[in-house]
Amino acid sequence: MGSSTESISEVTSVFSQQERIPVLLKIEPEFWWANMANPTLELMLHGDDIASLQARLNGHPTNISIVKTTTTDNPNYLFISLSLKNAAPQTISISLAKDGSTQHQFDYDIKQRRAGSAQRKGFDNSDVIYLITPDRFANGDESNDNHISMLETANRADKDGRHGGDIKGILNSLDYLEQLGITQLWINPLLENNQQKYSYHGYSTTDHYRIDPRFGSNADYRQLVAAANDRGIGIIKDIIVNHIGSNHWWMQDIPSSTWVNGLTTNHSSNLRTNLSTDLSQVQFTSHRRTTVQDPYAVASDRSHFVDGWFVDSMPDLNQTDPKLATYLIQNSIWWVEYANLSGIREDTYSYADKAFLAQWSKAIMTEYPNFNIVGEEWTANPITVSYWQAGKTNKDGYVSYLPSLMDFPLYETMLDAVNTPESWDKGFIQLYEMMANDVVYADPTNLVLFEGNHDTNRLFSLMNEDLGHYKMAMVYTLTSNRIPQIFYGTEVLMTSPLEGRHDGTVRADFPGGWPIDNKNAYTQEGLNPQQIDAQKFVSTLLNFRKSSAAIHHGKLIHYVPKDGTYVYFRIDALQTVMVVMNKNPNNVLLNSDRFKQPLADFSSATDVLTQKTQNITQTITVPANGVLVLTLN
């Protein structure tokens, strides 16, 4: 971040009179790039009475011009729109004047893009995503556990407090992650969260352009991405456009009275005090996500969902404000370009204004046509999820540009199907019939299926600590026709309560991430036999999956579940993979005749998990309460 820091520090006052001089405090974004698909850039300048100044370019920059300057109802903000069409990388000089006299001058960098940046490849079906809650994964630098400018200090004894995990800890873990077999890291938000409590989770942003110093620096983040890329691992950034943290620097001097939903105060020196006293007037979201697509929903119910705050420490953003919309779009693109990301996970997707969401996702995908973005729409209804995927023809005419969504319907069905005893309409048949709902999606194969995340209870616990059921859920997650995502620690059977929300426990520390830990997932020291078995099982599957063409893009066919077994195939021109799940407490012999179409050209199969080969011309042997993943020979 050396260059960006210099850009701000070079802001200089060159005017001195008796009258008060407007003070320039901040410029965002701090720099930009030449040759972006969108040739327009909007700078947001913040400073006392800065709106009274006129902006002009100094000298004769090549192919760069000021299109317009605009203000809001807050005199402390000035927005400068620049045209960069056909502009080469360069440093420009901008002056701010009043009545013809220069008050401030600053340099602004238009940088060279990385070669091939626009064509970057996003995560896809060939990947496995590994989700990390960074404060709880590994502490690589104890010196940054606390920071003088941050309100909350580390307390590892508090399950809801900060524990000290950081970017250096993830960097130190890359060898482990590479050997495990993952190819993408989704990291819960790393941006500054200067809140008094619960700052560890990262979902209360207080500065959109700064990594929280308790995690590291912007430069550390970029170093992590580069080191991960060297190991064939991409980085997916967790972004929130719906809300911010109540201690965001904006909240001390709101850029516009329409910037945040539910504010009833006007601009004043004690805006923070006014906000605190006005919280009783804030409307909190109803969480009724269907209201934005329900043809019968009334406008007030839609507004209650979209415009309501999550909690009193998370102000809800009004993305219909065009300045805020541009700010959020540019910020997302800035991080992709600056850090060299391979994807975005967008939090609480449907909670933001849906016209803005289309604008936001379209802008990013226009800049990076081969990129991928996955949105969170937490519902068990496939129709509700499908509404948001790009390519879906919606009856209300809404056009989305979001490529991917988290497949909550299939996740919840998978848990029920594996856990529930078999009957006519329960068990594996639930999973089989849920797959028929793929017809409502524009592209079901671009959905992300997960076995758990930072908001759900732990898989091994949800499987009632039945290792066989755990393995069935993991195999399905990793071999279905979806993009798979696993949660840190699932590979070593981390546990949680079964019912209710227990965030601090679900997001417990990864064993071995702290030097004093008695258990160590990196070395297997202190792990019990089941944990070692599960870790080997997951790693074997992940490393097989890395080179499996059939799993990456093969077609899926499946058979109606029968006698406690469920069979499906992944097939492409180069490879056929057969997957069998068996809930029976005994080994089962499957008659090969039932599967004669996909088995026609094969006489034997190799078990991916054991490397044992069996003849499959007559029968197929499936282990008790277990799974088979077979490559056909």
Q: What is the pLDDT of residues 377-399, one digit of tens each?
A: 999 999 999 999 999 999 999 99
pLDDT in tens, 129-162: 999 999 999 999 999 999 999 999 999 999 999 9
Q: Average pLDDT over the chain, rounded to whole?
A: 95
pLDDT in tens, 282-331: 899 999 999 999 999 999 999 999 999 999 999 999 999 999 999 999 99
487 pLDDT band, cuts 50/70/90, is very high
Alpha helices in 444-572 (DSSP H): 459-462, 467-479, 503-506, 529-546, 549-553
Which of these, 240, 230, 147, 149, lies nearest to 202 by C-alpha position?
Answer: 240
d(CA 410, CA 556): 15
d(CA 586, CA 621): 11
22 pLDDT band, cuts 50/70/90, is confident
pLDDT of 13 higher than 70: no
Shared domain check, 532 and 561: no
Shared domain check, 371 and 242: yes
Q: For residue 254, is it within any domain?
A: no
% of the chain surpassing 90 pLDDT: 92
Neighbours of 72 (CB within 10 A): 21
Shared domain check, 524 and 506: yes
d(CA 179, CA 472): 22
pLDDT in tens, 245-288: 999 999 999 999 999 998 765 443 434 434 443 666 789 999 99
| Count of the separate structural domains present in the chain | 4
Q: For residue 253, is it within any domain?
A: no
**101-111 and 619-622 beta bridge pairing:** unpaired
pLDDT of 6 higher than 70: no
Q: For residue 256, is it within any domain?
A: no
**pLDDT value of residue 264:** 64
Shared domain check, 541 and 449: yes
Q: For residue 442, is it within any domain?
A: yes
Q: For residue 617, is it within any domain?
A: yes
Q: For residue 138, is it within any domain?
A: yes
DSSP secondary structure string, 290-332? GGGT-TT--HHHHHHHHHSBSSTTSPBB-TTSHHHHHHHHHHH
Tell me which residues are annotated as active site: 347, 376
Shared domain check, 564 and 438: no
Q: For residue 561, is it within any domain?
A: yes
Q: What is the mean pLDDT of residues 102-129?
A: 98
What's the start-to-end Cα distance of the chain, in Å?
53
Domain that holds residue 606: 552-632
* Contact between residue 365 and residue 403 where contact means Cβ atoms under 8 Å apart: yes
Q: Which of 113, 147, 169 is the last residue of a domain?
A: 113
Give how far Cα 55 sits from Cα of 77, 100, 419, Å: 13, 10, 65
Q: What is the mean pLDDT of residues 81-107?
A: 97
Specify the pTM: 0.95
